[in-house]
Amino acid sequence: MADLKTDIRYIKGIGEQRAKALNKLGIATLRDLISYYPRGYEDRTLSRPIKDLILGENACVRAMVATDPTAHRIGGGRTLVKCRAVDEGGSLDLVFFNQEYRKNSLHKGETYIFYGKVEGNLLRRQMINPLIEKEGQQQITGRIMPLYPLTAGVSQLILSRAVRQGLDACRDLLEDVLPDRVRQQHALCFVNYAYENIHFPASPEALEIARRRMVFQELFELTCGLHLLRSARKDVPGPTCRRLDLSAFYEKLPFTLTNAQQRAIADAVGDMCSGRPMNRLCQGDVGSGKTMVAAACAWFASQNGWQTALMAPTEILARQHHQTLAPLFARFGLSCALLTGSTKAAERRAILSDLKCGAIDLCIGTHALLTEDVAYAKLGLVITDEQHRFGVNQRAALGQKAEHPHMLVLSATPIPRTLALIIYGDLDVSIINELPPGRQKIDTFAVDESYRQRINAFIRKQVDEGRQVFIVCPLVGDGEEVPDERKAVTAYAEKLQKEVFPDLRIAVLHGKMKPKDKEAVMADFAAGQSDILVSTTVIEVGVDVPNANTMVVENAERFGLSQLHQLRGRVGRGSAKSYCILMSDNQSEETKQRLKVLTKTNDGFKISEEDLRLRGPGDFFGSRQHGLPAMKIADLSCDMRLLDEAQTAAKQLLAADPALAQAEHAPLRRRIDELFELNAEAMN
Ligand code: ADP
Ligand code: MG
């Protein structure tokens, strides 16, 4: 007897090799297999007599092969097989490119189902490379065909057949994780019906009913899971802090904090005094001053006798934080260290021993802070900057350096609130929705290649006026193949140096360089030793060069709007008028619309909402970096209403049974434990 955990090799026709290929798709067990959702569907149910076929339409035809297929060699070593098929009222030419076997597999006088796009003209209809099946044995024609994401060695048909067997084997094993009451209240179908119709939709309506239930279930599980995580943490004590006046800290700052900054700090301080561990996300647009929120919290922790660790995603950013915060902390007689991958052994030893005896109040660093041999005397607060680069698990790993430290997460990726609820569902959220005074709007232009000369002249003018310029390319291009017309950093920098700006100082920066070299390039640029920095998005995060006032982004269509907005935040940091030029030769209306959003607004929240609307949440959910269970089926750009419903239902259920301890909720509890297994381990 098979069960849901049975290996997929159980399925007929899945041998060692196919199993390996399926593993690559994340399919190891029968449960994985039946939960492998199609990315889309193709409706192949439309069927017509030949005479009624409509040009340009995809349709099934039942017809008899009327001529012996003939094979011809055509140019480029290709072959062409041709024959004619007929039904009562018409005839259809069939053409196959590079399918020589068709010559022997199609037999004159036999009837088949052909599926394909109708081409040719009204007198001679034609199908090129149609799908062919025998009547009564149809698997890929005559139905709504699921389109699964594939990998080498796995075709749609192989998957579809395997899923069929999987569903048949599991039919009686599928527990419903949704409590009956919830299912009924929200008019959701039974679990078997849902699985069946997700993979083998009986009709478009059945598919919609099935999908609705699956999406609801996914969002419901996620919400319940996050809620449980959160309440588990609320049950433990956090590092104790007592309230104290922050004005001692504020007085020594070079500027007055904005109201939004002060609110975020007050939120965090409130958490730290609550007796429970803080778990807060502080979201604010680029340049909104999150570093000072971090500094205030670290100062507050130090006044309560706790050490703070501040983790940045890149060495450049860690160094920059250190440069800002070390002098500030020195003013309070507090000590601040920098620990990264390139810290020298002797220095590292000294820092480690100072951390261990509590002589360091704030330790800033990269992933190096997570290394096993780093131990703290009294770690009370863990801050991670630019959260979207760290997963929940990494956050948790840093948290393990102490019992249950306070956690503060800084994120410069403004995301719509509904989305924040999911991605950061286990965190409280503060939003900094105000920029420090005196910021000017960055003038943004979206242009195509016809502006190239003018843009180059503009760059020259800025440099002549003593300013510096960022040029961002989508690729590195160092020894790798450049796939198309995209600009690659190294090649483009060379070209500019040779052909356009022979007299200017052009520097190159990309992620494949050694950390030391990156440092040096950045430091030079910051010190005004180069005029133009041609770079990949490694400069996206944090880099602060006030004298750089112009950014040109090449192949701007390749980037997400939120990412472009982040990039743009690298300029406009000084007093000079700043510019961002988005180069794109992509003529699609969609691209133009997308880029136009950036020329219209500087508000990161608005931009991310547009981004989400235009591109769907793939960007946010495509990577599993956030460490939450991946969304397999929900599409949050269109499933927002369902999200709301699922969240409300989850809250109601948890209000009645906070730990999901009741017997009827056992399947849900088990499912959530499975989903969050990884996280649960890291969290405890
Ligand atoms: P981000 O939120 O992008 O991390 P930063 O913390 O790097 O922003 O701040 C951006 C710049 O604004 C820094 O140069 C910082 O010194 C400055 N800054 C921060 N807060 C204020 C403020 N209240 N008034 C004036 N300047 C500020
Ligand atoms: Mg920052």
**Contact yes or no for 509/478 (Cβ under 8 A):** no
CA of 370 to the centre of ligand 2 (A): 20
Residues enclosing ligand 1, CB less than 6 A?
Answer: 255-258, 261, 284, 286-292, 412, 436, 544
Q: In the prediction, which pLDDT does 398 show?
A: 63
- Which ligand 1 atom sits closest to the C-alpha of 293? 6
Question: What's the CA gap between 110 and 116, in Å, rounded?
Answer: 19
Residue 13's φ and ψ, nearest 5 degrees, are 90, -5
Quick one: pLDDT at residue 480? 57
Q: Which ligand is nearest to the CA of 436?
A: 1
- Of 432, 461, 485, which one is at a domain's C-terminal end? 432
Residues 523 and 589 in one domain: yes
Ligand 2 centre from 541 Cα, in Å? 7
> Is 648 part of any domain?
no
Closest residue to atom 23 of ligand 1, CA basis = 257
How many domains does the chain fold into?
5
pLDDT band at residue 322, thresholds of 50, 70 and 90?
very high
Q: Taking CA 382 as the corner, what is the angle to CA 378 and CA 387, rounded to the nearest 5 degrees?
A: 170
User: For 209-218, 407-416, 428-437, 563-572, which range has the lowest pLDDT when averaged over its residues?
Assistant: 407-416
Kindly tell me if the per-residue pLDDT of 417 is higher than 80: no
Return the number of other C-beta atoms located less than 10 Å from residue 237's C-beta: 11
What spacing in Å lies between the alpha carbon of 365 and ligand 1's midpoint? 20
- pLDDT for 178 beyond 70: yes
Say yes or no: 189 and 294 in one domain. Answer: no
CA distances from 293 to 359, 438, 593 (A): 23, 19, 35
**For residue 240, what are its two tokens?**
């104790």
Q: Which two tokens stand for residue 543?
A: 């880099």
Nearest ligand (C-alpha, residue 254): 1
Judge whether 2 lies within some domain. Answer: yes
Does 632 map to a domain?
no
Do 421 and 456 fall within a single domain?
no
For residue 639, the CA-to-ligand 1 centroid distance in Å is 36
Confidence band for 128, pLDDT divided at 50, 70 and 90? very high
Q: What local confidence, expressed as pLDDT, does residue 683 receive?
A: 37
Q: Is residue 589 part of a domain?
A: yes
The pLDDT value recorded for residue 92 is: 94
Residue 668 lies in a domain: no
- pLDDT of 666 > 80? The answer is yes
Greatest pairwise CA separation for the chain in angstroms: 95
Ligand 1 atom at minimum distance from 291 CA: 6
Side chain identity, residue 87: D
Averaged pLDDT for residues 647-666: 90
- Please tell me the least confidently modeled range out of 93-97, 123-127, 338-342, 635-639: 635-639
Confidence of residue 520 (pLDDT cuts 50, 70, 90): confident
Q: What value does the mean pLDDT take over residues 655-672?
A: 90
> Any idea which of 1-5, 321-325, 339-343 has the lowest mean pLDDT?
1-5
Lowest mean pLDDT among 177-181, 282-286, 559-563: 559-563
Q: Is the pLDDT confidence value at 625 over 50?
A: no
Q: Is residue 675 part of a domain?
A: no
> Residue 292 Cα, ligand 1 centroid: separation in angstroms?
7
d(CA 226, CA 229): 5
Asked if the structure places residue 674 within a domain, the reply is: no
Same domain, 290 and 411: yes
Whether 363 and 305 map to the same domain: the answer is yes
CATH code (residue 121): 2.40.50.140
Residue 295: pLDDT band (50, 70, 90) is very high
SS3 337: strand
- 151-167: pLDDT as tens digits: 888 888 889 889 999 99
Asked whether residue 63 carries a pLDDT value surpassing 90, the answer given is: yes
pLDDT band of residue 483 (cuts 50, 70, 90) is low
Least trusted range by pLDDT, from 110-119, 438-447, 634-643: 634-643
| CATH value at residue 577 | 3.40.50.300
By most ligand atoms within 8 Å of CB, the mutation choice from 251, 283, 291 for ligand 1 is: 291
From 265, 288, 431, 570, give the residue whose CB has the most ligand 1 atoms within 8 Å, as the site to mutate.
Answer: 288
Atom of ligand 1 nearest to the CA of 569: 3
pLDDT (tens digit, 9 = 90+) per residue, 258-267? 999 999 999 9
Averaged pLDDT score across all residues of the chain:
86
In a domain, 455, yes or no: yes
Whether residue 537 sits in one domain with residue 464: yes
Contact 162, 23 (CB under 8 A): no
pLDDT band per the 50, 70, 90 thresholds, residue 627: very low
* Cβ(408)–Cβ(382) below 8 Å: yes
Ligand 1 pocket test, pick from 251, 253, 255 with the greatest ligand atom count within 8 Å of Cβ, gives 255
Does the structure show a pLDDT above 70 at 486? no
**Does 670 have pLDDT greater than 80?**
yes
Phi/psi for 384 (5° steps) reads: -115, 135
Say how far apart CA 511 and CA 647 lie, in whole Å.
40
Domain boundary among 432, 461, 488: 432
Tokens of residue 329, six digits: 């902390």
The range of the structural domain enclosing residue 152 comes to 1-37+143-173
Same domain, 283 and 330: yes
Shared domain for 297 and 151, answered yes or no, is no
Amino acid letter, residue 621: F
Same domain, 484 and 565: yes
Choosing from 282, 292, 386 the residue with most ligand 1 atoms within 8 A of its CB, the one to mutate for a pocket test is 292
Q: Are 196 and 89 contained in the same domain? A: no
Whose alpha carbon is nearest atom 24 of ligand 1? 436
Determine the pLDDT at residue 682.
Answer: 35
Residue 396 predicted with pLDDT over 80: no
Q: Of 406, 432, 458, at which residue does a domain stop?
A: 432
* Most confident among 83-87, 121-125, 557-561 (mean pLDDT): 83-87
State the pLDDT at residue 354. Answer: 96
Strands 579-583 and 548-553: what pairing? parallel
> Is 90 exceeded by the pLDDT of residue 479?
no
Q: Which tokens in the block code for residue 104?
A: 């022997």
How confident is the model over 243-257, as a mean pLDDT?
A: 94
| Distance (Å, whole) CA 660 – CA 667 | 10
Give me the mean pLDDT over the 179-201 stretch.
94
Q: Look at residue 562 in the predicted model and tell me its pLDDT.
A: 79
Q: Which ligand is nearest to the CA of 295?
A: 1
Confidence class for position 615, pLDDT limits 50, 70, 90: low
Same domain, yes or no, for 181 and 169? no
Tell me: do 26 and 80 sit in the same domain.
no
Distance 439 CA to ligand 1 centre (A): 10
